[in-house]
């Protein structure tokens, strides 16, 4: 009997771009990422961004083309694309358009963005604002091949926590080539979608498929949860050590509905070597279908 195990999911982690931009590729390799990693293109806690250095961009693209890595970019934290504040909303849209252009410059095809907060207005109002932001920024970059991936939210009272609302946003924007979804497991669990057993995973993925469509899912943020089911707590935990647990993490990785999708970890970094431990744990759980 052939006992060889096959890694079905590309598995990686968010890596730093500090120093030279191209060094993120080296860091991903050193961390034993397999086929995927995620970056910011600039500081995630500032509104402005330094212009990308053409030499660094060239070196980054060369290293990337020589590797087997697929890269996902994450939007900075400050923008709120569901904000009712006109100035803040406009500023947020400018950052989204800027990040689309930076992704294109770097040769990266996918940009992950949060729904943001409707700021005590309503989910419907917030939904309309993020729809308008996506439509406007796609129109402004219509010649670019960068897909916007909406990441589900953790708070059940927020805009992007319900799969049905996410599906409605995709349907209203209506551009399948430029839109998609990133499924964060901690956020889904915190918002009330159980992922702790194989049966629960399949039920939650069925809900995803019937409201959004699994064909729109391009990447998984695999994170265990410090919070309990439905707690609304956006607190990531190491793989298998939270309330989703090893059984849940294993079930997600082994679900036929998610086969081959890239997996990016956003797990805690409380001590040296924690990233490597989480990558190794994920690989162990995903290597066998048994």
Please write the tens of the pLDDT for every residue from 155-169. Answer: 999 999 999 999 999
In a domain, 5, yes or no: no
Domain encompassing residue 146:
11-286
In a domain, 6, yes or no: no
| Model pLDDT, residue 40 | 98
In a domain, 198, yes or no: yes
In a domain, 2, yes or no: no
Q: Which residues are catalytic?
A: 45, 74, 77, 114, 151, 184, 187, 221, 234, 236, 266
In a domain, 232, yes or no: yes
DSSP state of 53: P
Q: pTM of whole model > 0.85?
A: yes
Q: How many folded domains does the chain comprise?
A: 1
Instruction: Round to whole Å and give the CA distance between 209 and 54.
Output: 41
Percent pLDDT > 90 in the chain is 95
Among 89, 171, 105, which residue's Cα sits nearest to residue 137? Answer: 89
Supply the CATH number for residue 268's domain.
Answer: 3.20.20.150
Instruction: Round to whole Å and give the CA distance between 170 and 168.
Output: 5
In a domain, 3, yes or no: no
Percent pLDDT > 70 in the chain is 97
Instruction: Round to whole Å and give the CA distance between 90 and 169.
Output: 19
In a domain, 150, yes or no: yes
Alpha helix (H) residue ranges in 178-269: 185-190, 198-211, 245-254
| Model pLDDT, residue 3 | 41
Q: Are 195 and 184 in contact, with CB atoms under 8 Å apart? A: no
- Which residues make Cβ contacts (< 8 Å) with residue 23, sequence separation at least 6? 17
Instruction: Round to whole Å and give the CA distance between 39 and 42.
Output: 9
In a domain, 1, yes or no: no
């Amino acid at each position: 009997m052939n006992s060889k195990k096959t890694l079905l999911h590309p598995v990686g982690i968010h890596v730093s771009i500090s120093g030279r931009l191209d060094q993120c590729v080296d860091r991903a390799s050193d961390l034993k990422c397999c086929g995927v990693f995620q970056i910011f293109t600039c500081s995630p806690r500032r509104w402005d961004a330094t212009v990308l250095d053409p030499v660094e961009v060239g070196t980054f693209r060369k290293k990337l083309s020589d590797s087997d890595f697929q890269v996902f970019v994450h939007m900075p934290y400050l923008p709120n694309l569901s904000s009712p504040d006109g100035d803040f909303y406009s500023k947020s849209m400018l950052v989204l358009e800027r990040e689309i252009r930076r992704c294109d410059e770097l040769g990266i095809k996918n940009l992950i963005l949060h729904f943001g907060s409707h700021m005590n207005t309503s989910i419907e109002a917030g939904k309309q604002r993020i729809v308008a932001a996506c439509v406007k920024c796609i129109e402004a970059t219509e010649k670019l091949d960068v897909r916007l991936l909406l990441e589900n939210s953790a708070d059940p009272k927020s805009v992007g926590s319900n799969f049905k609302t996410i599906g409605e946003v995709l349907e209203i924007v209506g551009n399948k080539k430029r839109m998609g979804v990133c499924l964060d497991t901690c956020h889904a669990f915190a918002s009330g979608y159980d992922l702790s057993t194989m049966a629960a995973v399949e039920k939650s993925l069925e809900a995803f498929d019937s409201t959004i469509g699994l064909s729109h899912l391009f990447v998984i943020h695999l994170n265990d949860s410090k919070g309990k089911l439905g707690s609304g707590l956006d607190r990531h935990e190491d793989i298998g050590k939270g309330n989703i647990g090893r059984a849940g993490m294993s079930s997600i990785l082994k679900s036929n509905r998610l086969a081959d999708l890239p997996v990016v970890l956003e797990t805690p970094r409380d001590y040296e070597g924690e990233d490597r431990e989480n990558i190794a744990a994920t690989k162990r759980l995903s290597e066998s279908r048994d």
